[in-house]
Amino acid sequence: MGHVEKWQPTLDMTDETRSWGIDVPLVVADRGYGDAAALRLVRKNAA
């Protein structure tokens, strides 16, 4: 396994949970996730 951005597993887990039909209205994370523009954009577009 190579390098994985810090936010990628979070995105993968929320996507998998949604695929089970469970809504994920909120994700709590530390400041580092707030700096991840890619994660913010994907979550904004998923809403």
Domain edges within the chain: 8-46
CB-based burial label for 42 (10 Å; 0-12, 13-18, 19+):
middle
The pLDDT tens digits for 1-40 are 688 887 788 888 888 998 999 988 777 766 766 677 766 6
pLDDT score recorded for residue 20 = 96
The pLDDT tens digits for 38-47 are 666 665 555 5
pTM: 0.60
